[in-house]
Each structure stands twice: as structure tokens, then as C-alpha cells.
Amino acid sequence: MPEHTRQPHLTVPDAKGLARVQRRTLRVVVAGQILGGAGLAAGISVGGLLAQSMLGTDGLAGLPTALFTLGSALTAFLVGRFTQRWGRRAGLGLGFAAGGLGAIGVVVAAVADMVPLLFVSLFLYGAGTATNLQARYAGTDLAEPSRRGTAVSVAMVSTTAGAVAGPNLITPLGDFAASLGIPPLAGPFLLAAVAYLAAGAVLLALLSPDPYLLARAVTEAARADDGGTSPAAVVRRPGAGAYAGATVMILTQIAMVAIMTMTPIHMRAHHQSLAAVGLVIGLHVGAMYLPSLLTGALVDRIGRVPMAIASGVTLLAAGVVAAVAPGDSLGLLILALVLLGLGWNFGLISGTALVIDATVPENRPRIQGTIDVLIALAGAGGGAMSGVVMASSSYGTLSLAGGFLSLLLIPVLFWTHRPRAVPA
């Protein structure tokens, strides 16, 4: 039986009704993203430091990022498929629940000093990271085409509160964990467990009617009214914009993850405090999400491609500043990581909008999930290689490599958007 017939019939409301559902959807997504943001900050802030402590080596400090990014890749695939069949609510709710269980496992592994359990739990913890990223699509399902960038930005900016607070709670969460007999570096994962499980509960309970299922019903009704083809006959190949958007998001993810992962290690090697690490990462995560409302408006107003190009240029600037900054210069490292987050923000929102524009409801979740798999795998590669590059060379070399890599998105954009000759 085709996928589009597997759901119960949804009554399609009028334009005002759809606008009301969209507003409610955005409110629920905002609540879920605030909670989810607090959960994802743990792995960014202390995952590498916890592995360094348990493994006793810097060379594998990028492994936690690689593990939870691989976990996010699998989850992105599954969430895309779940959404295609059962809607956003099921996919996002279950993804956050898995991330919460992974965070609990990290805490148990730290207490028991069980490295294999740490690795498995970090892999599972990555489910929350992928789900937090996938939630940005829920706000776009019912959005007008001219407002898609803004809709993505609403979901992303909502992540800021939790994501910025998380790294800056490293010290108090560490003290709280120590009072419970838990290693201090595992403290942020206590917050992640609660945050992810709460985010999943909010989405499962409140994301109704399901925005994706309703968007698909709207498309089917419009097609039937126009006497068009049935949903099963719709061409399922995405447009060129989907490939361009995927490339933008993949390259920006590699650059961001590689530099971000090694920054706490670099700072600790120069005797900077955990509080300083938390400040730098907190501001970095803030730059990843806080400018989203402005970025979304710019993506809708001046275009997807110009903002994607701005992403590559900003990431290059971040790499250069990080490379020349002395290891004990808190100010310059803050500037570098803020630019890094801002470049990633430009790339993710413009790339997401390119993908949405190039897909239709019948194929959108599947393609979105597949692209997020590639993004996650790119991040895993960046995280794994970052430790190797830094151990064999330097943080400066790593930062420059990440910055220049991001510029590759510019020729790809020009290639995919060049005028095509019309056959005679």
C-alpha cells in the first residue's frame, strides 16, 4: 500500500485554519527546541574532555564527537522514514527519547569507568542531536514558500536559551554531580537526560495535528481539485537545489565540528579554566542559533545563494582568527568561535531553505532525513579527524583547513544554479 494511504484521513482547514495550526506548531516546536538545546550542549562542551579523562590521551579526544555524530546519522535516517510514514510527532518524540537514554548511559559509564558503555551511550546520545536538528523542518511544513527561511529560523533561535545555558552550567553541574558521587565532567549529561526526555514528551503530547501529515493532505487536496496526478505518480527526484543545499550544509558542518571539537582541548592545553571553556562554547552555540531570526529574514529577502556564500566567507574568517589567536587569548578565541557559529548558522538556514524549495511533501521527509545523515557523517568525519590533525600538526593548521574547506561550497552553488540551455 502506498505510504500516503497509511494515515487516517485529515480534514483540510481553510487558509485561516491552516495559519492557526502553523502558529500552534511553531509554539510547540519552540518549547521542544528550548529543551532540546540544553541537551545537545553537553556533548559539545565536555564530551571530548570526558573521553580524554577516561582514555588518558588527546589523540582520541575527537572520538566522542564522532560517535554521537554517527548516532545522529542513524537517527536522522530513521526520523526521516518515521516522519514519512507516521508524521513529525512520532519521529521527533522518539528521537529525543533515545537521546535522553543515551545521556543517562554516559553518566553510568562515567561512574563505573566503563569505556565501552561510554562509546555505546555517546552513539545513542547522538539521537538527540539529530532530532534537535530535524525539528527545524517541522516549522516549515505549513509555511508559505516566501516564509520558509523565517520558519526555519524560529525553530533554530528557540534552541538558543538551552544551548547557551548548558555550557555555562558546566561548573555548577559538575559540583552537583560531584555531590552525588558522579565525576564532574558527567554533570552536563544529567541535564541532557532530563532535557531530551522532556523535549520528547512535549512533542509527543502537543504536536497535533501533525504538521507534515496535514501539509501532505493539503497538497493532495489541491492536486485533486486541479485534476492533477495522484500522489503516487509524483516524481520523487529532488531538484538541483536540494543537492546545492546539501553541499552547503555538509561543508559547513565539517568546518564547524572540526574546529569546535578541538577548541576545548586547545584551551585546556594552555591552562584555561573549565569556566572559560564553557564561556567560549556557550557564546559559540549562541552564535549558531541566536542570529537565526535575522538570518531567516535575509534568506527570504535577499536569497538562498547569497547567504550560502556569506556562510563560506564567514567560516574562512573564523578559521583564520582561530589559527592566529594565541592559546591563552580568551578574547580572540571567543571571536573565532562566534564567527564559526555564525557561518554555520548562515549555511544551515540557507541550505535548509534550498532543500525545502526543491522538494514536495511526498518526498520531503525522506530526502531531509537522507541529507541530515550525510551532514551527520560529515560531522563525524570532521570530529574524528580533528583530533588526529591536531595531534600530528597544530590547532592553527586544523582551523585554517576548516576555513578553506568551507569555500568549496561557492563553486558548487554557481554550478547548480548556472543557467541551463533550453532544448530547441
Res 188: pLDDT: 83
List the domain range (segments joined by +) for residue 269. Answer: 17-416
Which cell numbers in the block locate residue 359? 522538494
Res 93: pLDDT: 92
- Angle at Cα 187 formed by Cα 102 and Cα 93, nearest 5°? 35
Res 198: pLDDT: 93
Residue 223 reports pLDDT greater than 90: no
Q: Which residue has the higher pLDDT, 192 or 51?
A: 192
Looking at the domain assignment, is residue 421 inside a domain? no
Looking at the domain assignment, is residue 313 inside a domain? yes
Rounded Cα distance, 350 and 315, in Å? 14
Res 424: pLDDT: 39
Looking at the domain assignment, is residue 263 inside a domain? yes
Residue 312 reports pLDDT greater than 90: yes
Provide the domain count of the chain. Answer: 1
Res 6: pLDDT: 46
Rounded Cα distance, 211 and 205, in Å? 14
Looking at the domain assignment, is residue 422 inside a domain? no
Confidence of residue 43 (pLDDT cuts 50, 70, 90): low
Looking at the domain assignment, is residue 36 inside a domain? yes
Rounded Cα distance, 371 and 356, in Å? 11
CA distances from 417 to 242, 244, 306, 314, 324 (A): 11, 8, 12, 21, 35
Rounded Cα distance, 164 and 318, in Å? 19
For residue range 152-175, list pLDDT tens digits in order: 888 888 877 766 666 667 778 778
**CATH number assigned to the domain comprising residue 65:** 1.20.1250.20
Looking at the domain assignment, is residue 79 inside a domain? yes
Res 44: pLDDT: 63
Res 310: pLDDT: 95
Do residues 67 and 126 make contact, with C-beta atoms less than 8 angstroms apart? yes
Res 341: pLDDT: 94
Res 14: pLDDT: 75
Do residues 317 and 339 make contact, with C-beta atoms less than 8 angstroms apart? yes
Looking at the domain assignment, is residue 113 inside a domain? yes
Q: Which residue has the higher pLDDT, 188 or 234?
A: 188
Confidence of residue 83 (pLDDT cuts 50, 70, 90): confident
Res 234: pLDDT: 44
Looking at the domain assignment, is residue 4 inside a domain? no
Which cell numbers in the block locate residue 132? 534537535
Neighbours of 375 (CB within 10 A): 26
Confidence of residue 132 (pLDDT cuts 50, 70, 90): confident
